Structures are given as C-alpha cells and as structure tokens.
C-alpha cells in the first residue's frame, strides 16, 4: 500500500512540474554591451558592428489616452538665420561669432588631390569649397558648414604634420603660402572661417632649432629640456645628455620656462593672424605645455602661460578664436576657459552621446549634459563625436541609423559643433591612426585623386561615398545637411537655453532649446523599434498657450502641448508613432 502511495505522489509531482514549465515564460535574452570607453584613454576600442540580441517586449494592450488637441498644419519660421548667404557670421544675441558656426575638421592630405600626386592639397580643398558651403542661400546641395579647422599644414617630415620643422612655411606637399592666402580669400567669400592647428608643445627633432640645441654650447640649448640621466619621456641625444619628448623621440618638447621660446611662439601666432589672415587656432595637447617636477599635465605654470597667450592673441586680433585639446574630464578642462583659451573640446560629452546612441538608452547622457552646461560659460565649449585620434563614429555604431542619432544629439545641443571630415557620409575606420585619416570617399571610384592615393580607401568606398548619398533622401549626408541647415536657420539651436524633458519610456530622449520667441523640442527614439505609447513631461518652461508647433524634422499629425501654469506640460505626445531611430525636431512659435 505504501508503495502505491509513493508512486501516486511521484506522478502528481511530475505533472505539476510539467504544468509549471508550460506556464513559465522563457527568460529574455540579455544584450551584452561593451563598457563605455574612458575619456582619458587615447585609443578607444571600436564597438562591435553587429547588433546585440534585443529583448522581446510585451505588447501594449492599449495606447494610453491623452487629452490632446490636434494642431493646425503650419510652416516653420526661420528665426535669426545665419551662414547661407556668403557672409561671415558675427554672433547672435551678444554671443561671439563661433557660437553661430559649425566647424568641419579637414586633414588636407586626405581631402582632395588637385594634381594627381596622391596627396591632398590646398588647391584641391579650394576646388571642394562649394561642397562645404557655396555661399548661395538658394541652394541646398552644400553641407552648410561655416568654419574649417585644418589639421597641421606647416612644413613637417611626417605624414600627419604634428612635428613641425618650419612654423612660417606651408608644407610643400600641400602648396605654398600664396595658395593658403587664396584659400582664405575663397573661404571668406563663401562665409567660411578658417582656423589652423598650432602645435606649441614640441617641434620636430629635425627642426633647425633642435639640431642647433644638441650642441651644449648653443644659444638654443635651453630652448628644449635637457637632463644628464634618462627616465620616462627622456631620450638619449647623439651629442650627449637626454632631452625630454613626451610623445615621441622625434617630438622634443619646447622649454617654456625660457622667455625666448615664448617670444618666438608668440611671433608665430602673430605671423599667422596678421600675415596669413587666419581666423584662429586649434591648439594641440596644451595640458602638457609646461612640466613641474614629475607632473606632466595641467600644471599651474601651464595655466599661467595661457593667460599670457590669451592676452597676446586678443591684442593682435580681438576676434581671433582658439579651441584647445585638453583630453581630460570636464572639471579639469573647464579650468582652461575664461581668459586662457576661448573654448575646449568636450571629450566626456562626445563619449556620452555615442554611448547613448549605441546602447539605445540615454544612460548618463543627461547628467553629462547638465555637468557640461554648469562647468562652462554659456555655450563656450566644443562638441564633437570623433576626431583624427579616435575611431570613427560609424565604426562605433551598429548601423547608419545609430550614427544619425548621434549626429542629432550633437547638432541640436548647445556649444560649438565640430564635424570630422567624412563623418557626414559615415566613413569608417579604427586604429592605427592612418586608418582613421584615409582619403575622402567622393565617388564609387573613390574620386580623391587621379593618381594613387597616399593611403587606400576604406573597403566600403564603392557604396559609401558623397555621389551615392547625394540624392538619397535618407542618407547620412542628407541627415547632416538638414541638421546643419536647421542650426543655421534657428537661433534656439545655436544659442538657446537647454532644458531636459522627462520621458516614458527611457528609450525616448527629449529636451528643449529656447530663445525669446522660439522654442524647439527635440525628441529622439534611441531604440530600433517604433514607439506609440510614450509621454513627455516638462515641469516648467517657456511655453505659452499661444504657441503653435511646426515640424523642422519629422512628419505626421502634430498635437498641441497641454501647457500648464508654469509654462511646461504635464503629459504630451506630439506625434505617434516615433519611428525606429527617429529624430523629431519641432518648432514652437506664437
């Protein structure tokens, strides 16, 4: 009898287990994501280009009803437009001219070759200026940028140019000083400012100054840093002793404790501002300028030196502009602004934008944006996604749509935007450096040179190039064109106040930009799925009941915001659905 009871008990347990297995849902797959690259790391690892598994979301039974009024269709209004008519911008609402500017970083060697020798040159850049900005407000085929940053163009033995042998002469592979002056003239005709890389920290080991300095009795000896013993950063000189070169033995550091060095580099600065007509400088690796003991970056002496530098270049040209590379966290970078340099690049922000676009969630983006805004004078920082030292943005994303999201988040935020050449078509590339500085992909044949390019194109050039994206409405190129045009046409996107908007779900990210008479709402679907059931909330803001919405980017049937007594809105869904990786930019004006 006992055996029968035990058998019946076992049978009942097995049945219960089977029922539980049928009724318990399978575990959702977990997306394995890479850790965010630290901003202090000079060579961020590119993210995988294949999509991680996406959890299957439970379907929404019903769309949450919101008591919203449909808006009347309305054309957008241009508010304080700049940058399309061939005139140099001058600054909106009391801001400096660079806050009205979208910059484009160019490696001359890789942009366009005019003479078939396989090396890009200044005359080739002049030929392509109309692609960047033709100065004609009636056309929409140009990119619309209003500023150019040229990577090093001074005489140098290296392909990259960051080891200079003559600060007063254009690299002969790129052209002549006269060619550069013609570039300045042609750029200004189109309303384009031009700044150039100025390498202050070091020279080339082949510079005549350093060759002379190797003689212990030379007057140039203390233009560099010397020691009797070696150590990290110290390199043996053929003539005895050790010289300091933080980056490379072919880049000996200048000694700014010597007043003669400061005087000479200030003279170089004056030469390019007065004789060559540049509008300013991008300053390379400035946190390493002056060492103090074993401290090789961000020393008090470096900060004091840049106060002198600032006063000097502003005395030569009060409108001259400097943007500096200080590859450090925001709180350290901010110490260089305010009468040392005009603005610095925001590395923390760049990583936060790319990380959010890749992961499909804002993660720390809002906190980073709030930190950046609090750290600097209004708008006085440079935004970017990638540069010549980092893997290209598209190589850090899973698809073109994520690259577009990153562009939206950059170009609708405050600050001064910089775009690395080729980012606008999604050019790809990861370390080594030569592979992130490849020739521009103009046509299915390449189109950079009639000769053999100094380095080969990325393998996708037959299908990823300017010519093919030019007429494709949904291309990355046309996405960039639209965003730059919006920035040029709307003061709120250039100099407006930024305010985050609370969203549900978190895969939607939103904020407003506002100036007097114009509010712009940005809504981004960071996910690869359409979203119908979402809400936006703004506790207080600049909205009034008289404001009407109009699409600047996106389409659909717009709803009026339910404006509350504090100028915000309590539950708003401007349009539905939000398309996968979709960007909405909506203008509100009276």
Known catalytic residues? 284, 325
3-state secondary structure 58-102: CCCCCCCCCCCCECCCCCCCCECCCCCCCCCCCCCCCCCHHHHCC
CB contact set of 217 (below 8 Å; sequence gap of 6+): none
310 HSE (CA, 13 A, CB side): 16
**SS3 of 559, please?**
strand
Measure the CA–CA gap between 79 and 94, rounded to whole angstroms.
Answer: 15
Nearest to 520 by CA among 556, 555, 495: 495
Instruction: Walk across the sheet containing 226-227 and list its strands.
Output: 226-227, 242-244, 234-236
DSSP 3-state assignment of 54? coil
Question: How far apart (Å, rounded) are the C-alpha atoms in residues 573 and 240?
Answer: 73
Helix (H), strand (E) at residue 417: strand 416-420
Phi-psi region of 176 (alpha: psi -120 to 50; beta: other; left: phi over 0): beta
CB 422 within 8 A of CB 92: no
Closest CA to 247 of 234, 262, 257, 237: 234
What HEC string does 194-263 produce? EEEEECCCECCCCCHHHHHHCCCCCCCHHHECEECCCCCCEEECCCCCEEECCCCCCCCEECCCCHHHHH
Q: Residue 585 and residue 145: Cα distance in Å, rounded?
A: 20
DSSP 365-389: HHHHHHHHHHHSSTT-SEE-S--TT
Residue (of 205, 258, 246) closest to 214 by Cα position: 205
Angle between helices 400-411 and 476-489 (to 10 degrees): 10
Q: In what order do the strands lie in the sheet with 382-383?
A: 343-344, 321-324, 280-283, 193-198, 147-150, 103-106, 416-420, 382-383
Distance of alpha carbon 276 from alpha carbon 438, whole angstroms: 28
The dihedrals phi and psi of 237, each to the nearest 5 degrees, come to: -95, 140
CA of residue 548 relative to chain centroid, distance = 32
Q: Rounded to whole angstroms, how far apart are CA atoms 384 and 350? A: 6
Q: Determine the 3-state secondary structure of 7 from DSSP.
A: helix
The rounded distance, in Å, linking the Cα atoms of 143 and 476 is 12
Classify 167 as helix, strand or coil: strand
**Euclidean distance between the first and the last CA atom of the chain, given in angstroms as a whole number:** 88
> What would the two tokens of residue 248 be?
């490379």
């Amino acid at each position: 009898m006992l055996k029968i009871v035990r058998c019946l008990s076992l049978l009942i347990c097995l049945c219960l287990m089977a029922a539980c297995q049928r009724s318990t849902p399978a575990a959702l797959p977990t997306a394995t994501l890479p850790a965010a690259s630290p901003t202090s790391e000079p060579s961020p690892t590119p993210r995988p280009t294949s999509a991680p598994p996406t959890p299957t979301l439970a379907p929404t039974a019903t769309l949450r009803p919101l008591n919203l009024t449909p808006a009347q269709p309305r054309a957008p209004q241009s508010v304080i437009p700049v940058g399309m008519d061939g005139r140099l911008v001058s600054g909106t609402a009391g801001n400096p001219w660079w806050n009205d500017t979208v910059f484009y970083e160019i490696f001359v060697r890789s942009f366009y070759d005019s003479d078939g020798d396989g090396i890009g040159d200044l005359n080739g850049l002049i030929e392509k200026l109309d692609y960047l900005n033709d100065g004609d407000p009636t056309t929409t085929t140009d990119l619309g940028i209003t500023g150019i940053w040229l990577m090093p163009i001074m005489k140098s033995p290296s392909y990259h140019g960051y080891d200079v042998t003559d600060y007063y002469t254009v690299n002969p592979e790129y052209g002549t000083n006269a060619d550069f002056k013609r570039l300045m003239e042609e750029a200004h005709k189109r309303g384009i400012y031009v700044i150039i890389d100025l390498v202050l920290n070091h020279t080339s080991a082949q510079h005549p100054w350093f060759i002379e300095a190797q003689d212990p009795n030379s007057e140039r000896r203390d233009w560099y840093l010397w020691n009797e013993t070696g150590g990290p950063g110290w390199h043996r000189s053929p003539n005895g002793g050790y010289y300091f070169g933080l980056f490379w033995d072919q880049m000996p550091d200048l000694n700014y404790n010597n007043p003669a060095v400061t005087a000479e580099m200030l003279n170089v600065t004056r030469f390019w501002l007065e004789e060559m007509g540049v509008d300013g400088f991008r300053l390379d690796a400035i946190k390493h300028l002056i060492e103090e003991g074993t401290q090789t970056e961000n020393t008090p002496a470096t900060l004091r030196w840049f106060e002198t530098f600032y006063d000097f270049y502003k005395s030569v040209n009060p409108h001259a502009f400097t943007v500096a590379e200080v590859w450090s966290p925001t709180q350290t970078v901010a110490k260089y602004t305010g009468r040392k340099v005009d603005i610095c690049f925001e590395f923390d922000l760049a990583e936060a934008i790319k990380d959010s676009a890749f992961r499909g969630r804002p993660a720390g983006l809002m906190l980073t944006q709030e930190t950046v805004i609090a750290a600097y004078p209004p708008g006085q920082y440079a935004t970017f996604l990638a540069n010549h030292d980092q893997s290209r943005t598209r190589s850090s994303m899973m698809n073109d749509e994520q690259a577009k999201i990153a562009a939206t988040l950059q170009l609708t935020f405050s600050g001064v935007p910089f775009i690395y050449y080729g980012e606008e078509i999604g050019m790809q590339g990861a370390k080594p450096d030569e592979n992130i500085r490849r020739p521009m992909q103009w046509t299915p044949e390449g189109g950079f040179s009639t000769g053999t390019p100094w380095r080969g194109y990325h393998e996708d050039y037959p299908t990823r190039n300017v010519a093919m994206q030019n007429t494709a409405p949904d291309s990355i190129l046309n996405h960039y064109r639209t965003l730059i045009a919006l920035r040029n046409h709307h003061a709120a996107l250039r100099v407006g106040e930024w305010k985050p908007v609370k969203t549900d779900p978190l895969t939607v990210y939103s904020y407003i930009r506002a100036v007097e008479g114009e509010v712009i709402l940005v809504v981004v679907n960071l996910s690869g799925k359409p979203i119908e059931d979402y809400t936006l909330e703004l506790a207080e803001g600049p909205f009034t009941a008289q404001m009407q919405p109009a699409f600047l980017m996106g389409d659909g049937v717009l709803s009026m915001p339910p404006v509350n007594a504090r100028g915000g809105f309590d539950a708003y869904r401007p349009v539905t659905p939000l398309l996968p990786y979709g960007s909405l930019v909506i203008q509100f004006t009276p």
